[in-house]
Amino acid sequence: MNKVVECVPNFSEGRRKDVIDAITAPFRRAAGVLLLDVKPDPVHNRTVVTVAGAPDDTSKAVFESIAIAARLIDLQKHEGAHPRMGATDVVPFVPVQCISMSDCVSISRSLAKRVGEELGIPVILYEESATAPHRRNLSDIRAGQFEGWHEKIRESEWTPDFGPAKVHPTAGVTVIGARVPLIAYNVNLGTRDASIARKIARKIRERSGGLTNVRAIGLPLEERGFAQVSVNVTDYTKTPLYRVLESVRTEARRYGVSVAESEIVGLVPMRALTDSASFYMQLARFSRKQIIERRVGALAGGEEGAPGTGPGDRPGEGSGEGPGQEPDEPVGERSGEELGEPGFAGVTVGDFVDRLSSSEPAPGGGTASSLAVSFAASLVSMVCRLTLGKRKFQQHESEVSAALQAATAFSGEALRLATEDSDAFNKVMAAFALPRESSAEKEARQEAISDATLGAARVPMRVAQISAEILSIARALKGKTNPNASSDLAVAALLAAAGGRGAIENVRINATSLGGRGGEELLARAEEIEARLQT
């Protein structure tokens, strides 16, 4: 298979059709490049273009397009709702097929060098291509916009990676990099009050303590009669679109405002839509194999389950886009691999409680323990976020920041383990149900039971390890974080200890039956972790 890279350049022009046509012309005529989508927005005064193709061909076409934009767009005269700092504002490269992230970083750096040297436009590298941690986030780079960058570029921490150390008089500064796929998703409110949109954006975005994998800003859309919460979802498999919409809707109710509509900018993966459709329609045991277009894709020369087999099933960026090939696992509100979003992350609290209290043995205590540990880690993250940036705790900022990073990772891992625990139990039950008529079948069945039981012991062991780490972090942060959240830190410690001890009980019940197949080692490790939870 050939290498395919996706690129989603954002241009600061969304009103003049002749200019947009000129900017996109290189993509229409370039061999080896497919123009997937052109999304102009006159209110934002911005156009998002999505292309995919061979790396060299795509890079050359993007360079030509940047050069045209530099000639035809004058940021001194530009006005629009969306923040901007360059005529070509941001250029992300995304791996699609037979290409790695490191390859995309190389492509982005090569293009950035050409833009800086040949066009005289200063370039900042971002995301995976960033040359410093403070340069990774696009919103941090774009702060101040075109006007503010005339002073900002003089600061040593914002010296361009390529090009002159001064803002191009009309084309501004361009941001280029490589990143994972994302989806641009906008929610328009039934109000013109942009301050409400900004308040909601602060509540739902990750950097303010909201949803993980979500970046958001509030914008006025006066011409359309809306205020907009403009969102980038950086990993829709972990934070699905329906969760973003429901979070915005919940926050909007506080201000007596409704959601008027939502929109996706650029392309979007099928899974992002089927996950949301499954959530709202409450579909049970629905599989993507039931989608007719996926099944007949092979008739057009593609593979079953991957319609068209090309990059056309991939998204754009309006700030963004999403991943490529879609798995064929079922979608819906069910446990384990049957969930649209992997595991219990896609289930409401009420649904989970109902299933936990049912007569079904899974989910059970192991899953509940995993979630308790995830809750503990999330509380630690909250406390850290309520502390960072406050002058009183500046001396602890490094430690609190490191704790936030660790707790965030542990929260996600424990949430995934909640599903793995339930799945592990189901695998044990499936192994016991295997036939045992012949000697060969009996031997195979016993082997399967041992393997499944070992897995059922290893999952809670990892949960116990995480719980000990979270408890250690919570104890170390005592007296170093916002005192208004001291009770939350205490609850985090209690949940971590309870979840860890619950996980150890599951280790014991499974490891005891393993004997020499690793059971004794697991039991010994469980004793060590339990001691850490008690001290």
Cβ-contact 118, 167 below 8 angstroms: no
Cβ-contact 376, 468 below 8 angstroms: no
Task: Name the nearest CA neighbour of 214 among 192, 245, 252.
Answer: 245
The arrangement of strands across the sheet holding 214-221 comes to: 214-221, 226-233, 183-189, 259-265
Which contacts of 206-214 are long-range, i.e. CB under 8 A and separated by 24 or more positions?
207/137, 208/385, 209/381, 209/382, 209/385, 209/386, 210/247, 211/239, 211/243, 211/244, 211/247, 212/238, 212/239, 212/408, 212/412, 213/238, 213/239, 214/239, 214/244
Give the C-alpha separation, 261 to 266, whole Å.
16
β strands within 267-327, DSSP E: 286-287
350: its two tokens:
């009420």
Give the C-alpha separation, 253 to 258, whole Å.
7
Q: How far is the CA of 79 from the CAs of 18, 83, 132, 242, in angstroms?
A: 18, 9, 30, 32
Radius of gyration of the chain (CA): 26
The catalytic residues are 82
User: DSSP string of 238-271?
Assistant: TS-HHHHHHHHHHHHHTTT--EEEEEEES---HH
Q: How far is the CA of 60 from the CAs of 32, 266, 269, 280, 532, in angstroms?
A: 11, 22, 26, 43, 57
Please name every residue paired with 306 in a beta bridge, in sequence order, or none if there are none: 303
